[in-house]
Amino acid sequence: MPKVLIASEDPRVRHWVRMSLGPGWGVAEAPDGNEARRMVEHESPDLVIADETMEHYGAFGLARDIKMVPKPPAIVVLLERAQDDWLAKWSGADRWLVRPIDPFELANVAKELTTQPGTKPTQSVAAVSAKEGTA
């Protein structure tokens, strides 16, 4: 089961991401960037989904710092504005999604990023998309 860490100061965002991912994930939540950074080092998630709107230690600094750890997880940044895509790219995020975010797109991106080469996923992203009518 892939492990995902959801980092957001807003509990509603954390809940929405959890519900969007659906079953089959080991989910941990961090209420801020500092806690997320600590959890990455101690819990080794496969994926971090970070909300851009975190104030003190935001998603971009978190993404940049996470890329420095041994075996860094994949990182998705949830953006408020499309104009911030360059910041996500600069920070080392693997993907970024701009609000409003389609929950199926988020789930598919998460599945794509946690499917490691040499492993066989239980269901391909394309199959999930076709079944849910989003392909």
78-115 confidence digits (pLDDT tens): 999 999 999 999 999 999 999 999 999 999 999 999 99
Contact 78, 52 (CB under 8 A): yes
Q: Is 84 exposed, middle or buried (0-12, 13-18, 19+ CB in 10 A)?
A: middle
Closest C-alpha to 6, from 30, 23, 32, 25: 30
Closest C-alpha to 84, from 57, 52, 47: 52
Domain count along the chain: 1
Structural domain including 63 reads 3-132
What's the CATH number where 100 sits?
Answer: 3.40.50.2300
Average pLDDT for residues 66-72, to the nearest whole number?
A: 92
Q: Which amino acid is at 116?
A: Q
